[in-house]
Structure 1
Amino acid sequence: MNTIEPGTQPPDWPGWAVATAICLRFWSRLPVPPLPGESESHAAPDFRAVPRALPFAALVIAAPAALVALGTGLAGLSGLAVAALALTALALTTGAFHEDGLADTADGLFGGHTPEKRLEIMKDSRIGSYGALALGLSLLIRASLIAMILDRAGASAAAAALLAAAPWSRAEGLFLLATQPPARSTGAAAAVGRPSAATARIALALSLVLATGIALTVQLPVAGLMLGFALAHGAAAILSRLARRLIGGQTGDILGAAQQLSEIAIYLGLALALGWGTGLSG
């Protein structure tokens, strides 16, 4: 496995535009043309070099869903319909990348009795009861919270919430990749290399700046955004501890689950803050 020490730079460090394009290719189904100097466009990216640009790629990934939320919200559809359509667009853009990780994580962590059995279950492409329940609850909770944001603050706020949640939720998964050992010596999480904690913190810092700017632009409550980030970091930390205890570390599925939990947490923080404002004004 490729590793680097904190504060060091891997060879052939790509520019921000190239790194963003590589992140787009890895985290989404969006078409990305061959890049300058690239010999194999479908090879696993070297995560020592590219993940600092993940926040920018995440905004692009969430943009179709945000546009759907804005358009259907302004067209007068109900909050739940808007949220369902936006989440559909998001799943199509990512290929349900993170949802798959959440389902496999739920099946593996709760369906096995030994680390080896849990990892075996997580690698199985079939979905079990725990995975189906996790997927259903994730979609239900996210749709309900996005609908609540739209009903309380409008279509632009719902679109902004999708954009604001995208960078930070993915950076939380990246932070686990950087700070937790891999549970397997093979697999996606091990194959892409391990970024330094400093690189993951750069992604988190960029996510904070981008999300705050989006929130200020559409007058989303920044306090709610910060609450959501805190809840997201707490949820990722709990998942990290659970994975470390049950399977010995992180996997690609664990990173996907961290993104899903973090996305829910950010919507929850925004919805709570908007609810407080409504209660105070009432």
Structure 2
Amino acid sequence: MLSRVKYQIELFLLSLSFFSRIPVPASVPYSTERMNQSGRYFSLVGLLLGLICYGVYSVFLLVLPEHISVLLMICVSLLLTGAFHEDGLTDMADGIGGGMTTERRLEIMKDSRIGTYGASALIMALAVKYSVLSYLALHTSMLQVLLVGYALSRAIAASLIYDMPYVSDSNTSKSKPLASRQTIYELGILLFFGIISCIGLGLSILMIMGCVCFLLRFGLKWWLLRRIGGFTGDCLGGVQQIMELTIYLVLAASMAS
């Protein structure tokens, strides 16, 4: 029993090391199989990052107004993740926006340089995130907002691994360890922590959130299959960012109505 618990903790630490810049013990065992299995804790990593960002926001709020605290919190969030998901968004936007064929789109995604589509997507994503979070900071609990935004968006993004083919060159991709399909057990863990983050939302908001997230996931899956035939690691990052922004917008809309 203890060995099983230890194994799961090690998987979580691997997930934390892959999806964030938070240091983990060097003694944590690594293998391709373990790295693939660690994806089940992506949404749990999101919960931890949400808690940390809320703590940072609360400290800044002691001496600064809400909108400045939100801006600084976003900066800290970028440092915590190494802008990992934002990088995926820019690469996805450049590749799918700039390529005329599937092969060309995938080739552009591998290019480390940022283009017009990627720069535009990144600027607009950060601007919308700052604007919506600044509004939410004045009207509701930022703890709930950040937990839902960070955990649920990661759960939905990583769930694409379950029912979509991986189309990048797995020999050179940084997401190679996550390329294998998820089991239903791993998908269940992933979604469990995403759903847990929604506890505290009103029933009406919860139902609207569920419908919007389901439809957006379906739409993004269809779009990616049409454009590149599956997903890449960059696409998972891009979907996470789109889902996070959508979650904030749904919460803001519920406050405004």
CA distance in 1, matches of 2:184, 2:21: 27
Paired residues of 1:165 and 1:263 also in contact (CA < 8 A): yes
Q: 2:124 aligns with which of 137, 142, 146?
A: 137
- The structure in which a higher percent of residues are helix is 2
After TM superposition, give the deviation of residue 222 of structure 1 in Å: 5.4
CA distance in 1, matches of 2:231, 2:193: 23
Change (3 A) 1:92 1:121: same
Paired residues of 1:184 and 1:251 also in contact (CA < 8 A): yes
CA distance in 2, matches of 1:108, 1:138: 17
Q: 1:212 aligns with which of 195, 198, 218?
A: 198
Aligned residues: 251
> Counterpart amino acid of 1:25?
S
1:128 is aligned to 2:115:
yes
| 5+ long unaligned stretches in structure 2 | none
1:91 corresponds to which residue? 78
Residues 46-100 of structure 1 show CA distances to partners (whole Å, capped at 9, x for unaligned) of: 4542222223222222333211222223434133x22211111111000000000
1:31 corresponds to which residue? 23
CA distance in 2, matches of 1:113, 1:147: 38
1:247 corresponds to which residue? 228
Q: TM-score, normalised by structure 2?
A: 0.88
Aligned CA-pair RMSD: 2.3
Change (3 A) 1:229 1:27: farther
Tell me the SS of whatever aligns to 2:112: coil
Residues 225-255 of structure 1 show CA distances to partners (whole Å, capped at 9, x for unaligned) of: 5533432333232222111111111000000
1:228 corresponds to which residue? 209
1:163 corresponds to which residue? 147
1:22 is aligned to 2:10:
no
| 5+ long unaligned stretches in structure 1 | 1-11, 277-282
Stretches (4+) displaced over 6 A: none
After TM superposition, give the deviation of residue 221 of structure 1 in Å: 4.3
Change (3 A) 1:67 1:222: farther
After TM superposition, give the deviation of residue 197 of structure 1 in Å: 4.1
CA distance in 2, matches of 1:94, 1:44: 21
Q: TM-score, normalised by structure 1?
A: 0.81
Aligned-residue identity in percent: 31
1:9 corresponds to which residue? none
